[in-house]
Structure 1
Amino acid sequence: MIARTWHGLTPLETKTAFRKYLEQTGVRDALALPGNRGAFVSVVDQGAYAHFFLCTFWESREDVLAYAGDNPSQAVTYPEDAAFGLISDPIVIHQEVPEARNPFVEGGPRQNLLESASGRENPPLEAVAETLRAVRQTSPLVHFITNYVTVNDCANITLAAGASPIMADDAREAGQITGLCSALVLNMGTLNERTVQAMLHAGQTANLLGRPVVFDPVGAGASDFRNDTALRLLREIRCAAIKGNNSEISFLAGGMADARGVDAGPESLVTEDNLAENARRARKVAALTGAVIMVSGPIDIVADSREAWAVRNGHAMMARITGTGCMSAAVTGAYLGANPQTPLRACVCAMAAMGVCGELAYEKLRAVDGGTGSYRIFLLDAMSTLDAETLTARARVERLEL
């Protein structure tokens, strides 16, 4: 089952008339097609505008094409739209879902990581592979407000993962750009007051529109400015995922972080000996924030408030180049943008994919006797060619019993 979600807005004075018009055009045309399995509308007032959301459900990609045409990522529009002052997002969001259920009603069932779109239980690696396929099929647009050290790395790894990046960090446009995208990634790497305001505008817009936000609290615990900003962003923005090293996540948990720039000190790395302790801390932060917590390190931890997973992929060479943590957050944005209804699964998949690509890159590096520069290129190559079969064969993920 494929859910297709469109967003647009009109002035409040045309809200009632446009609602009726939408039901007579987009809703009626969708329901008339044999492959359609439902259509739901939601309207949210904000300031002088009414935000409209239309979610339609389809049996297959072919059914989506029958409704939307040969370029299904573009919004379906009508000549009379302009009479209502409609501002339409140019792209729509597609995602695989288990059933045709009204997405605008809270309290629905939460899909378990091990469940596929058909509702049956799968081995976890098969479920992760389904998530990868969704990224390749939908190519979500991801908005980044990130740091100037790794911005090019983030853009390229996002393209390699199968998504599309857009970088915009001025507060005057940040919210509008987020409205065009399937996900938002916020990164504190080179923090300044100007980008803080942009992050707030973009994050609050993403929350209003129901778009997932990935937060990378780079260097949290290292300075008062970073600490205050991290806590402010968490107070004012609802994040779908928070990705950091163990030092940064420890700070968010209220612990004594061993902050060392943007890298975790050796004393704070996740090992087999402290895995359970750190997984419990990740679940604590998940409960406090409502986000999936991703702790990067020799062993990665991915946890929500109810369960935690260990991802044992990756290679030590990944720590020898700048930006692999930022790239992990970028891949997470791509996977969440394509799979917003299954955030835990999307985050496990993103971390496993990044780790597997780190291993594949090192294997190629050894074959040519290369160094760190070659490794960065091989990492991008691995991500761009990663398929579900390779990920299924190589991913090492384990649900932790705590």
Structure 2
Amino acid sequence: MDMHKIGETLQKVREVNPLVHNITNVVVTNFTANGLLALGASPVMAYAKEEVADMAKIAGALVLNIGTLNETEIEAMIIAGKSANESGVPVILDPVGAGATAYRTQTARKIVSEVQIAALRGNAAEVANVVGENWTIKGVDAGAGAGDVIALAQKAAEQLRTTVVITGKEDVVTDGAKTYIVRNGHPILTKVTGTGCLLTSVIGAFAAVEKDIAEAAVAALVSYEVAAEVAAKKTVEEGPGSFQIELLNQLSKVSAADAAQYGSVEKIAE
């Protein structure tokens, strides 16, 4: 992928200021909104089933996150997802903790069966459990899986007819036809709750301005993770609390040139 295209897509997010409709979890709502604002997108959190269809159809993207799920919220997600589908609005799903409990797994599978999602973003265990593969999970974090993450991502993309993003030490992005590995980011991201959830919403912001969802996801990953690398460097002595605040700062500062210069992307299959 052309590294300059990544920078151009980041610039486009800031120019367009897309409305990103999030139905997310109670743990990360504030951080997600602040992160999207810092980046240059426009977040809205709307959960009531009476309004989600109206909100989803005017959004640039809809992000569904099952981190703290309940029946009312799941109903709202399905309503919003169908409305987004009817209006051509990309839907991004974060199946938080799929595999940890039967309820979470069933919910993620229900959403992908009733809503056409543009992208699925999770760790290896979550994605595996959505498509019925065996992979261990501890709470909402991926356990050690011996499986081939690239093969898993490609299988999930084909099965769900969508773009799949599996994040970890290295990130895999595939739409079944083309596959990318992104090698940016920093381990401290795993010490702050909500960094993965925010990343999913950032992918939503990029998907709102770039029709090729795999390329949008790669651009989102690089922009976000390059910002994280700088934030980690600046707060190395302080720890995760300072890192969280600095990540917001760097999301507002990361430039097209930074993304093009520091992004580490490998295309592995046509």
The TM-score, its normalising length taken from structure 1, stands at 0.66
Q: Which of 183, 189, 192 lines up with 2:61 in the alignment?
A: 183
Residue 373 of structure 1: how far off its partner (Å)? 0.8
Q: Which of 201, 208, 226 lines up with 1:356 in the alignment?
A: 226
Q: Distance in 1 between matches of 2:205 and 2:136?
A: 30
Structure 2 residue matching 1:214: 3-state secondary structure = strand
Q: Distance in 2 between matches of 1:151 and 1:320?
A: 17
Residue 401 of structure 1: how far off its partner (Å)? 4.2
Match of 2:23 in 1: 145
- Residues 168-191 of structure 1 show CA distances to partners (whole Å, capped at 9, x for unaligned) of 111111111112211100000001
Q: What is the CA RMSD across the aligned residues, in angstroms?
A: 1.3
Match of 1:77 in 2: none
Q: Is the 8 A contact 2:157 2:175 kept in 1?
A: yes
Match of 2:195 in 1: 324
Q: Which of 145, 148, 151 lines up with 1:280 in the alignment?
A: 151
**Higher RCO (CA-CA < 8 Å; seq separation 6+):** 2
Q: Distance in 2 between matches of 1:345 and 1:230?
A: 24
Structure 2 residue matching 1:172: 3-state secondary structure = coil
Q: Which of 237, 261, 264 lines up with 1:393 in the alignment?
A: 261
Structure 1 residue matching 2:51: 3-state secondary structure = helix
Structure 2 residue matching 1:318: 3-state secondary structure = helix
Q: Is the 8 A contact 1:313 1:356 kept in 2?
A: yes
2:167 partner amino acid:
S
Q: Is the 8 A contact 1:292 1:344 kept in 2?
A: yes
1:377 partner amino acid:
I
Residue 252 of structure 1: how far off its partner (Å)? 2.1
- Any gaps of 5 or more consecutive residues in structure 2? none
Q: Is the 8 A contact 1:174 1:202 kept in 2?
A: yes
Stretch of structure 1 that moved more, 188-197 or 354-363: 354-363
Q: Is the 8 A contact 2:6 2:218 kept in 1?
A: yes
Match of 1:165 in 2: 43
Q: Is the 8 A contact 1:139 1:338 kept in 2?
A: no
Q: Is the 8 A contact 2:177 2:269 kept in 1?
A: no
Q: Is the 8 A contact 1:131 1:345 kept in 2?
A: no
Q: Distance in 2 between matches of 1:280 and 1:334?
A: 27
Q: Distance in 1 between matches of 2:51 and 2:131?
A: 32
Q: Distance in 2 between matches of 1:250 and 1:392?
A: 31
- Any gaps of 5 or more consecutive residues in structure 1? 1-113, 115-123
Q: Is the 8 A contact 2:49 2:79 kept in 1?
A: yes
Residue 154 of structure 1: how far off its partner (Å)? 0.7
- Residues 300-355 of structure 1 show CA distances to partners (whole Å, capped at 9, x for unaligned) of 1111111211100011111111111101101101111122x221110001111121
Structure 1 runs (4+) greater than 6 angstroms displaced: none
Q: Which of 203, 208, 212 lines up with 2:81 in the alignment?
A: 203
Q: Which of 112, 117, 120 lines up with 1:242 in the alignment?
A: 120
Match of 1:254 in 2: 132
1:313 aligns with 2:184: yes
Q: Distance in 2 between matches of 1:308 and 1:253?
A: 18
**Higher helix fraction: Structure 1 or Structure 2?**
2
Q: Distance in 2 between matches of 1:317 and 1:258?
A: 22
Match of 2:246 in 1: 378
Residue 281 of structure 1: how far off its partner (Å)? 1.4
Match of 1:346 in 2: 216
Structure 2 residue matching 1:338: 3-state secondary structure = coil
Match of 2:96 in 1: 218
Q: Is the 8 A contact 2:122 2:165 kept in 1?
A: yes
Q: Distance in 2 between matches of 1:372 and 1:223?
A: 28
Q: Is the 8 A contact 1:283 1:307 kept in 2?
A: no
Residue 358 of structure 1: how far off its partner (Å)? 1.3
Q: Distance in 2 between matches of 1:361 and 1:235?
A: 38
Q: Is the 8 A contact 1:300 1:310 kept in 2?
A: yes
